[in-house]
Structure 1
């Protein structure tokens, strides 16, 4: 009866008396309360809809040719090449594989060009014609986009040269001098294979009459330059080229430099030299006591000291000579240099021990660096008694401190727009027609990489602006011509970064850098983690850089934003180039361990060269340190907006620091980014995390 009575009462009463779909029931102890979303977990993302599809290895049917390793060359468990492999004085011993690898690349490049070169040229010409007709001001002709040229009709049926282990023995290594990557060709370094750079300086010396390679100064007034040396792998004017595979490339920069030409000048660890460039150019040997002209002291024809390594030259040029004279540097070869390309991919490859920067891509539309491991120095740098096991000329063993200028990736814009025939290999170009390259760096992705170096890990550089003067366009602009298969035009995401200077924009920012997305990255033991650097010798605007969901552990400098990177001399003493960093967003950053933070704009000056203040404009949101008392913050000339920040950041009239919002020392860590899976051991056989191995998930 109770149920029936209740129903009658509700039928006679108003709906509000018994409740309805329009009237919420009274609150009770069982009513659920809103639950805040869990903090983002760094380091576990395996797919990302904002990125283009992941690269793939070629299939067996897409291989032009396979080059097998000689059984004479076997990688040791340390990763080093056996010392007996290339002890000699002739190029046949020192550089045995360059010619046969290059021949395979050239043949593949010629076949690719014959199959699709004309099709690419026609598509590019049609696109360029429409762009000319549009007459868009201040925009260089780009021709066909990388996205268009990635379609199957622009790729040859066979396009890969595969370097493989020996099928008849234990051989798994190659020794080679500089290689030219042709347009449309993929160099596939197979799993288990290591490509070693030759120690023969003659392979990298492009000019018999200078400027010369392997020195710290080619004269008393001109410093050494990496441009004096050929890169180990280079390529210009490329469409759909790549370097892929589960193997590795090792430049052996801690090995003793040798020469197949006894007259070529080399420096020794005692700072004497074997000859002078003047005598070498004349085909002669200088007498003992003659002053060196390569950065050394004097010629000693009877000395028994070993020759320097590439990293010896880097230390001498940068840390010693540059500090004394201000002009020292080093003429060291880079591992890879590419200029002007559409669709350039590095995938799965491991790179070790470059003598200078590892990869320098300039003016590329469609740059993909995915699943790449860079570890310099690796274990192999101190394992080989043929030079690698020796300490440097000051007695220091190979370390991140002695591996100077070993940046992992230095992507940038190119100096100008060009129209050029595609490279088919070994200096040859396509006859099918010319391709337009506008010189911008566009559609760049750095994803799922593991990086540990002695210098910058990823360093976007707006050093060149191919636009007409005064156009107001940026050298690097992540919003320029964004392909439809991705959300952003410049992304650095899902990477694990160890030793080095982290993600470091600059120092060449004179042409401007804008619209870069940096998210879901971890930094473990990095000297610097997030950095923007420039100075008034370079200048430039850096804006709309967005950092999000970042874990930083045991970094000397977690955040570094400074326009005072160096005291480099001004190009024109009365005309500085002012750095301007603004609209920088730093959000959801979790800092573990003691560290420093540097947030600086450009100070006004009324004496000397008068100029107004150029403040740093930055927003920091949910930036939390586990131990805020161990974070040392330096701020000046900055307009900062703070929200949920526990770093010691304060307004300062004396330092021209203005705050919107306040920092609090006692904030809860409940909203901090989850770093429990962010820190992992560096992957790979024979390799380990420079920060040390830890229990999985430990902090």
Structure 2
């Protein structure tokens, strides 16, 4: 059978498209005389019942669900004061920690940061007690792992020290290990305001039901060093951008074993709130783009004169400005959407909600996270990271409780939405930069007597039963560092590395509900490599992206064996987005890092509503470099749209194997696409996947449900 062109039918009223197939590798499965290449034969339905997405309550392939501590396991209990009472929308009333307008005006620590000292003191005391009880056992276990290390290294597994699986046993956990934040026992108090907290090894921060831990708005809490680095800006000089690394995180921890943040309460970083300072000389930016001082003068304890150029991203010092201080999200929008677009160096110095580096067994469970000023949770180099039953909603209703009551909180006059709450990634798990041997952290200043080994890999990661809505990535694997020796062939993130006996997969993302945001992503940092990831039984409702792999040749690398299955996507802007052209960042000095996405499988995915699909590999000789083609190698099985005419496909340098797919995919010589299989509209999405109960209302956090109530949760 000689084929020179193929005609694809279009919707009524649209022209049919005649596609030349000269000089192209097009494989049409079953085009022989048997007739097996008919559209109907390309559809294979399940012989049993159709999988119902979003309803699983138990998964035998997962480890046991975490549990809250018992009362007997609590080191100390702290009550909220009656000065802090959350409003029904989740915000604090302005009188709880008032702002004071004007240049050279400071607030008091008593209102801006009343609880940091007592919470940290409780954590430190608990950490010391945990170390006294089990620290020696942990150190002995790590020391005795030397022989196992050698054997593992020989097997190219690269375990450093005792495994997290061993340390998860009861023998390495203290009898008391939790610090519990509770509502006031005799009054309405249910809020805490705190600056940065250091989580000790072996300690659980338990935020009880009804409690909200609010981040202090005092920039001094996150930027305590008069010599810098400086927090709360979009630049630190005329040519250097700001950075979140200039700020301490709200909750941080490094070198941890068996630590956790959990409970049925909330953490609100208040990215929407006006920044204040307890030091009147600290430079703050105003919404009129003036600043209150310069870092150069602040470092010497002096006040700059009016008209002096700002060095924090603003224009000039203006002591007469009556404009309010910028909020954290004002800085983020200004840096990312305005300054970065014109200078290429804009970035906000905003604090992150949680940052953890090097841990064995770190758990986030049931807690609600809101309104981070930057990324919510950044865990790097964790063996045994569990995120289970967590709710992230950013922005929440609290973000709209602005004092003017006009519904336009952003400095531009815009209302907060998914497009202007910038860089608020929910979860960015990744590898750390290298293997280390260091002392466990037993408090904000104390360390254990013996050192602990960490190999820097992300291993045994479980991300399940979460609800996520945010202004950036909902969950993104960051393969941005490779602690392996050069040439070892090991990936920064590998779901088959050191998989524990209590689970089937070492890297799993399952049973989650995703709303606003950029979906479940790999990248953009993939230079260390990401492989063997299982993503199944997830739903996407009104998200910007659904399933995404993103990189570019400034930070590209190999991404392989990523498996997606049983996914419902409704009204997403981009249901599937796989691109090696994520940005035009400057190349590293050593030269380009070419993205290479292959062995990607997508099975049983149902797309509802209007959406776009982008499937791109990396073109040969790109950007003036003599690089080979790295085609996107992907198989799509039963990937269907309820309205295929409402799907727009962009594809290039892609080798796609398809069956039961009704997306308008095509082989083209110009775009270097290769198809194995035939797209067909003769497929019934309801027989591929049951999405009837997949889409539910976001669970209310107190009364703070930004999405309101619909019939979806009633059915």
- Which TM class, normalised by the smaller chain length? over 0.9
Aligned-partner SS, 1:71: coil
The separation in 2 between residues aligned to 1:384 and 1:81, in whole angstroms, is 11
Residues 1:171 and 2:186 aligned together: no
Q: How many angstroms does 1:545 deviate by?
A: 0.2
Q: 1:387 to 1:235 in 2, by over 3 A?
A: farther
What corresponds to 1:569 in structure 2? 586
The separation in 1 between residues aligned to 2:291 and 2:436, in whole angstroms, is 41
Alignment check: 8 A CA contact 1:80 1:384 kept? no
Residues 1:76 and 2:93 aligned together: no
Q: How many angstroms does 1:606 deviate by?
A: 7.4
- The within-5 A match list for 1:61-72 is 61-72=72-83
Q: How many angstroms does 1:654 deviate by?
A: 1.1
Structure 1 stretches (4+) deviating beyond 6 angstroms? 386-389
- Alignment match of 1:253 (pick from 254, 264, 271): 271
Aligned-partner SS, 2:635: strand
Alignment check: 8 A CA contact 1:441 1:475 kept? yes
Q: 1:123 to 1:607 in 2, by over 3 A?
A: closer
- The within-5 A match list for 1:161-200 is 161-200=179-218
What corresponds to 1:663 in structure 2? 679
The separation in 2 between residues aligned to 1:137 and 1:39, in whole angstroms, is 41
Residues 1:299 and 2:310 aligned together: no
Residue by residue over 1:487-525, the C-alpha shift from the partner in whole angstroms, topping out at 9 and shown as x without a partner, is 000000000000000001100000000000000000000
Q: TM-score of the superposition, structure 2-length normalised? A: 0.91
Alignment check: 8 A CA contact 2:620 2:626 kept? yes
Q: How many angstroms does 1:139 deviate by?
A: 5.2
Q: How many angstroms does 1:133 deviate by?
A: 6.3
Larger RCO: Structure 1 or Structure 2 (Cα < 8 Å, ≥ 6 residues apart)? 2
Q: How many angstroms does 1:690 deviate by?
A: 3.9
What corresponds to 1:13 in structure 2? none
Larger deviation: 174-183 or 384-393? 384-393
Q: How many angstroms does 1:207 deviate by?
A: 2.4
Q: 1:408 to 1:660 in 2, by over 3 A?
A: same
- The within-5 A match list for 1:508-657 is 508-572=525-589, 575-605=591-621, 608-657=624-673
- The within-5 A match list for 1:119-518 is 119-132=137-150, 136=154, 140-385=158-403, 391-431=409-449, 433-518=450-535
Residues 1:52 and 2:70 aligned together: no
Q: TM-score of the superposition, structure 1-length normalised? A: 0.93
Q: 1:514 to 1:606 in 2, by over 3 A?
A: closer
Residues 1:40 and 2:56 aligned together: no
What corresponds to 2:5 in structure 1? none
The separation in 2 between residues aligned to 1:139 and 1:648, in whole angstroms, is 42
What corresponds to 1:109 in structure 2? 127
Aligned-partner SS, 1:436: strand
Q: 1:311 to 1:135 in 2, by over 3 A?
A: closer
Q: How many angstroms does 1:113 deviate by?
A: 0.2
Alignment check: 8 A CA contact 2:606 2:685 kept? no
Alignment check: 8 A CA contact 1:291 1:297 kept? yes
What corresponds to 2:697 in structure 1? 681
Q: How many angstroms does 1:398 deviate by?
A: 2.1
The separation in 1 between residues aligned to 2:695 and 2:359, in whole angstroms, is 34
Q: 1:134 to 1:203 in 2, by over 3 A?
A: closer
The separation in 2 between residues aligned to 1:606 and 1:295, in whole angstroms, is 35
Q: 1:390 to 1:263 in 2, by over 3 A?
A: farther
Residue by residue over 1:361-381, the C-alpha shift from the partner in whole angstroms, topping out at 9 and shown as x without a partner, is 000000000000000000001
The separation in 2 between residues aligned to 1:637 and 1:568, in whole angstroms, is 21
Q: How many angstroms does 1:670 deviate by?
A: 4.4
Q: How many angstroms does 1:129 deviate by?
A: 4.0
Aligned-partner SS, 1:583: strand
Alignment check: 8 A CA contact 1:636 1:657 kept? yes
The separation in 2 between residues aligned to 1:271 and 1:482, in whole angstroms, is 52
Alignment check: 8 A CA contact 1:139 1:467 kept? no
- The within-5 A match list for 1:686-697 is 686-688=703-705, 690=707, 693-696=710-713
Give the CA RMSD over aligned residues. Answer: 1.7
Alignment check: 8 A CA contact 1:337 1:359 kept? yes
Larger deviation: 621-630 or 395-404? 395-404
The separation in 2 between residues aligned to 1:519 and 1:626, in whole angstroms, is 20
What corresponds to 2:42 in structure 1? none
Larger deviation: 386-395 or 318-327? 386-395
Q: Which runs of 5+ in 2 are unaligned?
A: 1-44, 100-106
Q: How many angstroms does 1:691 deviate by?
A: 8.8
Alignment check: 8 A CA contact 1:498 1:690 kept? no
Larger deviation: 603-612 or 496-505? 603-612
Q: How many angstroms does 1:222 deviate by?
A: 1.2
Residue by residue over 1:131-173, the C-alpha shift from the partner in whole angstroms, topping out at 9 and shown as x without a partner, is 2366527654511111110111100000000000001211000
Q: How many angstroms does 1:390 deviate by?
A: 5.8
What corresponds to 2:36 in structure 1? none
Q: Give 1 or 2 for the bigger CA radius of gyration.
A: 1
What corresponds to 1:31 in structure 2? none
Alignment check: 8 A CA contact 1:255 1:386 kept? no
What corresponds to 1:25 in structure 2? none
Q: 1:164 to 1:103 in 2, by over 3 A?
A: same
The separation in 2 between residues aligned to 1:167 and 1:341, in whole angstroms, is 35
The separation in 1 between residues aligned to 2:266 and 2:496, in whole angstroms, is 33
In the comparison of the two structures, how many residue pairs are matched?
663
The separation in 2 between residues aligned to 1:691 and 1:479, in whole angstroms, is 41
The separation in 2 between residues aligned to 1:212 and 1:90, in whole angstroms, is 20
Q: How many angstroms does 1:556 deviate by?
A: 0.1
Q: Which runs of 5+ in 1 are unaligned?
A: 1-33
Q: 1:166 to 1:413 in 2, by over 3 A?
A: same
Alignment check: 8 A CA contact 1:622 1:671 kept? no
